[in-house]
Amino acid sequence: MKRDRMPPSDAEKCNKDILLKNFCSPPCLTNNISRSALIIGTRGSGKTYFLRTCRHTHKGVAVIGDLKFILNSITRDIGGAGLSFDFVKPSLEPLIRSKTMALVATWLVQTLKRLYSIDTPEHLLKKLVPTNFAITENMFLNVVETDIEMFLNTGSIDSFLYFFNEVSILCEDHKGQLLVLLDRSEDVPYPCLFPIFSLLDQSNRFLTIITSRPGIIGPQNLLSPFSMSPGDHFDVFHLGVSPYSGDWRNYSYSVLSTWLPNSFNQCPEDFKQMILSLSRDSLRNAVKIVYNSIEDESGLYDYNRFISQFAFLQESLLQSAQASLRHLCPDLKRFISNIRNSITPFKLPLLLEFQQTKQSQIPITKPFHDLPKSERFLSLALRSGFFTTKDSQLWHPFLTLNEVEIPPIYIWKEDDPWYDIQ
């Protein structure tokens, strides 16, 4: 039996023709979005694959950017990335927002020039960069290397949106409507998100799709000028919002059958159902479990191989989550063990209720740094993927939660009955 090739975990490394051939549309979402949207999904739920498909199928001008890469210099400037955003000094927030606008604007200018030979007039950038800033072919790199203190009193949201709308007109004259696709917004310091999210406003003449994991956006002083609301000004789609439903299981089944047809066909039917339960809404984890459960030489399913490879995957995911949460919870393994021991009989899914918070449509009013430790842990655990929203809970930027789920892949043991995951 021929063993399938492992699909790339990074969608950017996937061949365009293979991507378009194998892409399966998630439930309630197509790649023909006609309104700006925020795409919510946990790690591995298919957000980047979706963006790349939109880029290749859009009829006009489409650009895709990794926000972690575009805004990496800000992380260097302040010493704090997206998953450590509770360390950002409030005094730095105006500078972070201003440099964010300059970085995104110059990235767009250079990307349009490289992909579509579209030239952007220099005067459109003048209000977004420091005085006497040299606008050259390498302007993005120049912004990267400019100290963040130089961005005091540069740019505004109005000038940022004016720039994008004027550039959109250039794109329309060249080929068609501008589609801006921005990935990994959860991996940048939270003050970056106010200008980034302003691109979602439906009043803009261009379309924007931004992806994010569930999690808090930031303190109230970030959200107070953010007058847009989900549904009214932009759409929100949550990939895998009902991960145990028939629709999502059928979708996951289609994805695995398409990308790993031989390997998935070798798996027993009850094992297939267990994979869908354990991986929950993470297609990446499902693909890894199936692929690593197949023997290299024979191409046949091996349960013992599954157990050993699953343990390796579980350990790597726990280590990744622990790196983000160490300052709030130094031992996630003990945290999980204590929960398992307190529940009799133990079964999945595992839901946790936080008494300190009340589910609300109103943003948190305290600065994030002043919130109770439990609330900061909840928010950062959501962003890191150690927690996720419970089944059927649609997350959006203004929602705080009092109940979450620990994904089964973090806590399942070999002697746990898979059929209790409902």
The full 3-state SS of 245-307, as one line of letters, equals: CHHHHHHHHHHHHHHCHHHHHHCCHHHHHHHHHHHCCCHHHHHHHHHHCECCCCCCECHHHHH
Amino acid (1-letter code) at residue 314: Q
Cβ distance 349 to 411 under 8 Å? no
pLDDT, averaged across the chain: 86
191 exposure class (CB count in 10 Å sphere: 0-12, 13-18, 19+) = buried
| 3-state helix, strand and coil shares in percent for the chain, rounded to the nearest 5 | 50, 10, 40
Amino acid (1-letter code) at residue 379: S
Residue 298 has pLDDT above 80, yes or no: yes
- pLDDT for residue 327: 87
- CATH 3.40.50 positions along the chain are 31-238
Dig out the tokens for 225 from the structure: 């000028």
The arithmetic mean of pLDDT across residues 329-333, rounded, is: 94
Model-level pTM greater than 0.85? yes
Percent of the chain exceeding pLDDT 90 equals: 57
The arithmetic mean of pLDDT across residues 74-93, rounded, is: 71
Choose the weakest-confidence range: 164-168, 180-184, 341-345: 341-345
Choose the weakest-confidence range: 6-10, 184-188, 317-321: 6-10
Rounded Cα gap, residues 295 and 333, in angstroms: 30
Residue 340 has pLDDT above 90, yes or no: no
Pairing of strands 37-40, 235-238: parallel
- pLDDT for residue 420: 47
pLDDT classification of 215: cutoffs 50, 70, 90: confident
Between 47 and 419, the higher pLDDT residue: 47
Dig out the tokens for 51 from the structure: 């963006």
pLDDT classification of 382: cutoffs 50, 70, 90: confident
Choose the weakest-confidence range: 122-126, 136-140, 362-366, 374-378: 362-366
Residue count of the chain? 422
- pLDDT for residue 334: 95
- pLDDT for residue 364: 47
Q: How many CA atoms lie within 13 Å of 177's alpha carbon, on the beta-carbon side? A: 15
Choose the weakest-confidence range: 2-16, 63-77, 150-164, 167-181: 2-16
- pLDDT for residue 172: 96
pLDDT classification of 85: cutoffs 50, 70, 90: low
Q: What's the Cα-to-Cα distance from 388 to each of 132, 149, 319, rounded to whole Å?
A: 46, 37, 17
The arithmetic mean of pLDDT across residues 46-65, rounded, is: 95
pLDDT classification of 289: cutoffs 50, 70, 90: very high
End-to-end CA distance of the chain: 33
Residue 86 has pLDDT above 70, yes or no: no
- pLDDT for residue 370: 65
Percent of the chain exceeding pLDDT 70 equals: 88
The arithmetic mean of pLDDT across residues 74-99, rounded, is: 76
The arithmetic mean of pLDDT across residues 58-72, rounded, is: 95
Choose the weakest-confidence range: 86-90, 98-102, 263-267: 86-90
Evaluate whether the domain defined by 31-238 bears CATH number 3.40.50: yes
To the nearest 10 degrees (0 to 180), the angle between helices 157-174 and 93-116 is: 10
Pairing of strands 61-66, 178-183: parallel
Residue 223 has pLDDT above 80, yes or no: no
Cβ distance 197 to 166 under 8 Å? no
- pLDDT for residue 45: 94
Region of residue 25 (phi > 0: left; psi between -120 and 50: alpha; otherwise: beta): beta
Rounded Cα gap, residues 187 and 71, in angstroms: 9
pLDDT classification of 422: cutoffs 50, 70, 90: very low
- pLDDT for residue 132: 84
Is 351 strand, coil or helix?
strand
- pLDDT for residue 84: 54
Residue 360 has pLDDT above 70, yes or no: no
Residue 361 has pLDDT above 60, yes or no: no
Residue 16 has pLDDT above 60, yes or no: yes
